[in-house]
Structure 1
Amino acid sequence: MQTIGMIGGMSWESSAVYYEALNRGVEERVGGLASARTVLSSVDFAELTALQEAERWDDVAAVLVEAARGVERAGADFLLMCTTAFHRVADQVEAAVDIPLLHLADTVAAACTAQGVTSVGFVGTSFAMSRAFFTDRLAAQGLTVHVPDAARHAEIDRIIYEELVHGRALDSSRRTLVQVIDELWDAGAGGVILGCTELELLVKQADADVPLFPSTTLHVAAALDRALA
């Protein structure tokens, strides 16, 4: 089994989901007392968020590069960034280490293509929805990408940052997210990417009529495929 390197802390709730899912996945695939070989470097979400808001991306990259080099030195065979928004500096992180980076957008795009979906909605933080770094990477792999109307972005951010990152999943917010998903379907999306780990704590496939692509679940599955190959 290969060792999975993880850069976490963005948020710690997201990292906890990754850690649990990786270990449950190994248990299911291998059986017995098996668990995942992981190395985790958890950064300060508040620090990185402040740097993000100040558009200090070289400083963001420096923090995440240091974390990546740490997990590489600790024996990781490949790397996961347990975040969507901070994939903004994924290329810089990947270039700074000698182990492969399993890019979240590539993983999600492959899952969409495998299901024959070429037009997808993307729901995440307002930053990830309004900047091109993630949606362009999806589009480069043949996907047409729809994002929610800009009027929805502040409400989605509120749900993520004021509720979900603190472990609160409210029915009223679930109804809001389902409405957003329905709007993306009406706009032509044949599936919807849940592009933020915390959203998977709120919305499940049973809540929506359109196929959902939960990015963290897909990322974990791809990591397990690699680690156990």
Structure 2
Amino acid sequence: MKTLGLIGGTSWHSTIEYYKLINELTGKEIGTQGNPPLIIHSINIELMREQNKEKINAKYLDVAQKLEQAGAEAIIICANTPHMTYKYVQPKINIPILHIADATGKQARKLGLNKLGLLGNKPTMTGNFIPEVLESNYEIETIIPEVHCLGQAHQYVSKELTQGLFTDKAKQFFLTQINLLVKSGAEGIILGCTELPLLIKQDEVTIPLLATTDLHAQMAVDFILSKIN
């Protein structure tokens, strides 16, 4: 098996979910008698809250280089939002970063989806690090909720979901956003937050839900087991 480096900490709840999923999915392939070689570096989430892009880029580059030096053959970033550092970090290291949007795009293509709604925190919804990859690599269009809804979505994600709080009020808000995105032409919905699949279930909506964490973890396992380069 190949050794994978994990950059976590934003949030640590998400990091645990990645670690759990990667081990479980690998176990389904090789049996529970073994587990994959993983190197984890957990970053203090306060770095992201400072919103200093140069400082964030520098930190992620430093961590990526340390993981490479430690023997990682690829890197996975255990959250959606920190993929904002991808374009800065990837050219400066010699191992691949497995991009969460590639994992999402490949699944969307399998399902024949051309237009996806994107839900998550505000930086994920308004940033270009997911839409740009989907557009350039898979010719998939991405749409997001109306501007006046972005702040409320962000509050639910950052103040409730990432803290383990799942309310009916939050569920109804996101179900409403999904319905509005469908009316705007979305053929599927990207659940761009680790906790969103715990809030919204596939049987509650009429279009495919793409849970980025699950798809990303499977991509990691495929790399570990040499199913992808």
**Class of the TM-score when normalised by the shorter of the 2 chains:** over 0.9
SS at match of 1:36: coil
Alignment of 1:147-158 (within 5 A): 147-158=144-155
Look up the equivalent residue of 1:195 and give its one-letter code: G
User: Which secondary structure does the structure 2 equivalent of 1:110 belong to?
Assistant: helix
Equivalent in the alignment of 1:115: 111
Q: Please give the root-mean-square deviation of Cα atoms over the aligned residues, in Å.
A: 1.3
1:40 aligns with 2:40: yes
1:134 offset after TM fit, Å? 2.3
Which of these residues, 124, 127, 132, is aligned with residue 128 of structure 2? 132
Match of 1:143 among 140, 145, 170: 140
Counting only pairs closer than 5 Å after superposition, residues 66-215 of structure 1 correspond to structure 2 as 66-140=62-136, 141-215=138-212
State the 1:224 CA deviation: 0.7
Separation of aligned partners in 2, 1:167 and 1:121: 24
1:177-215 deviations in Å (ceiling 9; x for gaps): 111111111111110111122222322212221101111
Secondary structure at the aligned position of 2:94 is classed as: coil
DSSP-derived class of the 1:116 partner = coil
Matching residue's letter, 1:224? V
Q: Distance in 2 between matches of 1:20 and 1:207?
A: 25
Aligned partner of 1:8 in structure 2 is 8
> Partners of 2:191 and 2:32 in 1: how far apart?
32
Structure 1 residue corresponding to 2:219, chosen from 218, 222, 225: 222
TM-score by length of 1: 0.93
Give ranges in structure 1 of 5+ residues lacking alignment. Answer: none
For 1:158, give the aligned amino acid: Q
Residue type at the aligned position of 2:154: D
Displacement of 1:14 in angstroms is 0.9
Is the aligned partner of 1:60 residue 2:56?
A: yes
Structure 2: gaps of 5 or more residues: none
The 3-state SS of whatever aligns with 1:33 is coil
Letter of the 1:23 partner, please give it. Answer: N
Residues in 1 aligned to 2:54 and 2:64: alpha-carbon distance in whole angstroms: 15
Residue 171 of structure 1 and its aligned partner are, at CA, apart by 2.6
Q: Which moved more, 1:214-223 or 1:69-78?
A: 69-78
| Residue type at the aligned position of 1:178 | L
The separation in 2 between residues aligned to 1:98 and 1:177, in whole angstroms, is 39
> How big is each residue's C-alpha offset from its partner over 1:116-168, in whole Å with a ceiling of 9 and x where there is no partner?
00111111111221232321222222012111111211111111111111112
Q: d(CA) in 2 for partners of 1:204 and 1:9?
A: 25
Measure the CA separation in 2 of the matches of 1:164 and 1:69.
31
Calculate the TM-score normalised by the size of structure 2. Answer: 0.93
Cα deviation for residue 108 of structure 1 reads 0.8
CA deviation digits over 1:23-48, x for unaligned, max 9? 11111221132222211110011122
